[in-house]
């Protein structure tokens, strides 16, 4: 039941994207997200779509999994599309009913927006598909490390994130165990209305809280015993290193940027 | 007489339908008679915990049936619910399930779910607390203020208070010191004597089981490998060791003495028994 929650959504693989440095991936994904907003014409957006499809193929992540990451956002995409159809007016009118009007420009904007969101979602989910949560937090830590000039405890924040991710499966297991134990004492956790049900969860959440605190203390103790004092002077087992493939990817993205700008320049803007 | 628990051709798969599908237990057939104490032994991952989670319907079998008091527990919602109260399941490290403000309330959780009258709940809590060895002055304390051993007792009392016909304990002595273990085992013996209930104890410690069980069931690789009295099972020393189980040291010594032609019994499971037995032999020798 709860055991099939998948945490993060890393897809095990050994593709070009999997092997890239997480920091570079992070930066490039960020850049690509900006590019999506730079697109003004259908042609530049089409270039982005082509690039995205290419990246998905390159990653080796099955299309079915990518679709799964779009599913929860389907309603939002549909909603923005519908809003845009009715609220943007201009060009030829195809349909009119009271104050509702569907125009050429409305349809164009709606399609443009929907595709834009799709590309945004797919690109950012590719990052999590090809990067383990640990690598991600590592990359965030390294990228944010200049902030330590302003006394931001970047390492501590990253460590907290890593630990939180690490403990999610443990807690899921724990919840299952406690639920079974209380069910064995006749607790009814799956029947009744909202209030009965939330009341029934007290016997599950109190022990869960208690054991989370216990685990936190134990972990802190164990870390202290291993002389953990925070980020200063800490070395890593897996050193991050930029390799030729990272620069190739960066170069590719730069060419894409040039393409977007050129296409924007030569073709009519939709929005 | 109908057996307290009857298991027929029980099979349970984990990750069913995926390529990682494994049988946690395979084709298990088991009768547990009323009033008997059954020990279930097995190496880690042999399927012990999976097996007992079927006794009160926490897990649903993929194949086979479970009958409690001759009644198939999956027949209806009601029979399933009744099985929760007929078979009291106490998990490993039960102290992590304590949640109420006071020990009393926590022990009363089970009986309350059975919708009993207040007087009956009161009676059951006090009886269970007495049997599990929860001290009276601790009843009004918060369960989180108790020591580890006391918490364990309180949690076991929480299962006993449902007065189940069958009490199932999963590794009840895990994590306790030797003195705590001994106390716990004698507590279980007393409980059984006082109530006449069926008791099923799961453990990988053969020493703990030897002292209480009438019959021992050995699980290996998801299947029942042996089933018999402790003496019958424990004398198959070599086989047990190949399953990663260790016969108590003292039993091994006696088995080997017997092999070398000494006339000693093979059913010695504790050092105390051994001492008593040797004394007797000495007296006989002197006489």
How many CB atoms are located within 10 Å of the residue A165 CB? 16
Distance (Å, rounded) from C-alpha B255 to C-alpha B268?
Answer: 9
In the block, residue with structure tokens 């807690």: A171
Report which of B99, B12, B139 is spatially closest to residue B64, judged by C-alpha positions.
B12
Paired with B38 in beta bridges are: B200, B215
Of the residues B96, B106, B175, the best mutation for testing chain A's interface (the one with the most A CB atoms within 10 Å of its CB) is: B96
Is the distance from CB of B200 to CB of B40 less than 8 angstroms? yes
- Using a pLDDT cut of 70, give the percent of chain A over it: 97
Judge whether B15 lies within some domain: no
Q: Does A24 have pLDDT greater than 80?
A: yes
- Structural tokens at position A232: 């200063």
Judge whether B242 lies within some domain: no
Contact A184 B84 (CB under 8 A): yes
Phi, psi of A268 (to 5 degrees): -65, 140
Q: What pLDDT does B189 receive?
A: 92
Contact A177 B91 (CB under 8 A): yes
Contact A187 B113 (CB under 8 A): yes
Kindly list the residues from chain B whose CB atom is less than 8 angstroms away from the CB atom of residue A211: 96
How many CB atoms are located within 10 Å of the residue B19 CB? 5
Q: What pLDDT does B249 receive?
A: 83
- Structural tokens at position A35: 């590019």
CB contact set of B275 (below 8 Å; sequence gap of 6+): none
Contact B88 A211 (CB under 8 A): no
- Using a pLDDT cut of 90, give the percent of chain A over it: 32
Q: How many CB pairs under 8 A join A and B?
A: 55
Across the range A97-114, mean pLDDT stands at 84
What's CA B101's distance to the chain center, in Å? 28
Judge whether B37 lies within some domain: no
Distance (Å, rounded) from C-alpha A99 to C-alpha A106?
Answer: 14
Distance (Å, rounded) from C-alpha B163 to C-alpha A95?
Answer: 74
Phi, psi of A184 (to 5 degrees): -65, -20
Distance (Å, rounded) from C-alpha A45 to C-alpha A36?
Answer: 7
In the block, residue with structure tokens 């009160």: B56
Please give, rounded to a whole number of angstroms, the shortest distance from the CA of A267 to a CA of chain B: 51
Q: What pLDDT does A208 receive?
A: 93
Q: Which residues of B touch A (CB under 8 A)?
A: 53, 56, 58, 81, 84-85, 88-91, 94, 96-99, 109-110, 113-114, 144, 158-159, 162
Q: Does A25 have pLDDT greater than 80?
A: yes
In the block, residue with structure tokens 């037995």: B277
Confidence of residue A6 (pLDDT cuts 50, 70, 90): very low
Q: What pLDDT does A184 receive?
A: 92
Q: Indicate the length of chain A as a whole number.
A: 271
Task: Write the DSSP symbol of residue A3.
Answer: G
In the block, residue with structure tokens 């198939």: B72
Q: What pLDDT does A1 receive?
A: 38
Q: What pLDDT does A7 receive?
A: 45
CA-based nearest residue in chain A for residue B15: A4
Range of the domain at B264: 248-287
Q: What pLDDT does A3 receive?
A: 42
Q: What pLDDT does B264 receive?
A: 84
Q: Which residues of A touch B (CB under 8 A)?
A: 177-178, 180-188, 202-203, 206-207, 210-211
Across the range A187-214, mean pLDDT stands at 86
Please give, rounded to a whole number of angstroms, the shortest distance from the CA of A206 to a CA of chain B: 6
Q: Is the pTM of this model over 0.90?
A: no
3-class secondary-structure state, position A237: coil
Q: What pLDDT does A140 receive?
A: 86
Q: Does A4 have pLDDT greater than 70?
A: no
Q: What is the CA radius of gyration of chain A?
A: 24
Phi, psi of B182 (to 5 degrees): -60, -45
Across the range A112-121, mean pLDDT stands at 91
Q: What pLDDT does A8 receive?
A: 54
Distance (Å, rounded) from C-alpha A265 to C-alpha B171?
Answer: 74
Please give, rounded to a whole number of angstroms, the shortest distance from the CA of A204 to a CA of chain B: 8
* ipTM entry: 0.87
Distance (Å, rounded) from C-alpha A39 to C-alpha A52?
Answer: 14
Total domains in chain B come to: 1
- Structural tokens at position A269: 């803007």
pLDDT digits (tens, 9 = 90+) for A30-71: 999 999 999 888 899 999 999 999 999 999 888 888 888 888
Distance (Å, rounded) from C-alpha B260 to C-alpha B254?
Answer: 10
Judge whether B225 lies within some domain: no
Is the distance from CB of B96 to CB of B35 less than 8 angstroms? no
Nearest to A207 among B89, B97, B110 (CB): B97
Is the distance from CB of B192 to CB of B4 less than 8 angstroms? no
Q: Does A132 have pLDDT greater than 60?
A: yes
pLDDT digits (tens, 9 = 90+) for A140-162: 888 888 888 888 888 888 888 88
Residues of chain B with pLDDT under 70: 287
């Amino acid at each position: 039941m709860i055991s099939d929650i998948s945490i993060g959504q890393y897809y095990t693989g050994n593709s070009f994207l999997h092997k890239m440095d997480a920091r570079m991936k992070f930066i490039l994904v960020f850049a690509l997200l900006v590019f999506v907003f730079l697109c003004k014409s259908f042609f530049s957006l089409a270039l982005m779509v082509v690039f995205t499809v290419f990246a998905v193929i390159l990653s080796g992540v099955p299309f079915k999994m990518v679709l799964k990451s779009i599913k929860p956002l389907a309603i939002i995409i549909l909603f923005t599309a519908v809003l845009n159809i009715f609220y943007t007016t201009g060009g030829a009118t195809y349909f009119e009913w009271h104050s509702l009007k569907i125009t050429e420009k409305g349809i164009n904007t709606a399609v443009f927006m929907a595709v834009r969101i799709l590309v945004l979602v797919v690109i950012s989910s590719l990052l999590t598909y090809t990067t383990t949560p640990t690598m991600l937090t590592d990359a965030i830590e390294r990228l944010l490390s200049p902030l330590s000039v302003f006394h931001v405890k970047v390492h501590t924040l990253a460590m907290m994130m890593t630990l939180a991710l690490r403990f999610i499966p443990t807690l899921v297991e724990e919840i299952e165990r406690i639920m079974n134990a209380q069910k064995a004492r006749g607790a009814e956790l799956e029947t009744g209305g909202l209030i009965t049900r939330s009341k029934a969860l007290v016997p599950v959440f109190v022990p869960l809280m208690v054991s989370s605190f216990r685990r936190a203390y134990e972990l802190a103790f164990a870390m202290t015993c291993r002389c953990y004092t925070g980020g200063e002077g800490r070395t890593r087992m897996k050193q991050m290193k930029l390799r030729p493939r990272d620069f190739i990817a960066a170069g590719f993205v730069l060419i894409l940027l040039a393409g977007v700008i050129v296409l924007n320049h030569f073709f009519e803007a939709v929005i | 007489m109908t057996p307290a628990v009857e298991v027929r051709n029980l099979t349970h798969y984990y990750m069913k339908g995926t390529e990682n599908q494994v049988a946690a237990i395979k084709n298990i057939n088991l009768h547990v008679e009323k009033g008997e104490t059954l020990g279930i032994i097995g190496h880690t991952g042999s399927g012990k915990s999976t097996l007992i989670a079927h006794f009160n319907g926490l897990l649903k079998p993929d194949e086979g049936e479970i009958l409690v008091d001759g009644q198939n527990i999956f027949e209806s919602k009601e029979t399933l619910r009744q099985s929760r109260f007929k078979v009291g399941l106490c998990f490993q490290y039960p102290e992590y399930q304590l949640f109420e403000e006071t020990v009393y309330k926590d022990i009363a959780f089970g009986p309350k779910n059975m919708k009993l009258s207040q007087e009956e709940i009161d009676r059951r809590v006090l009886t269970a607390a007495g049997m599990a060895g929860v001290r009276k002055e601790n009843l009004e304390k918060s369960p989180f203020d108790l020591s580890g051993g006391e918490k364990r007792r309180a949690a076991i009392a929480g299962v006993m208070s449902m007065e189940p016909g069958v009490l199932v304990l999963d590794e009840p002595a895990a994590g306790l010191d030797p003195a705590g273990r001994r106390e716990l085992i004698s507590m279980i013996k007393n409980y059984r004597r006082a109530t006449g209930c069926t008791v099923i104890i799961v453990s990988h410690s053969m020493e703990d089981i030897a002292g209480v069980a009438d019959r021992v069931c050995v699980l290996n690789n998801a299947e029942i490998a042996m089933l018999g009295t402790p003496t019958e099972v424990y004398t198959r020393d070599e086989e047990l060791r190949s399953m990663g189980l260790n016969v108590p040291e003292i039993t091994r010594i006696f088995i080997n003495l017997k092999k070398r032609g000494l006339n000693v019994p093979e059913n010695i499971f504790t050092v105390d028994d051994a001492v008593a037995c040797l004394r007797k032999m000495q007296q006989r020798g002197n006489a």
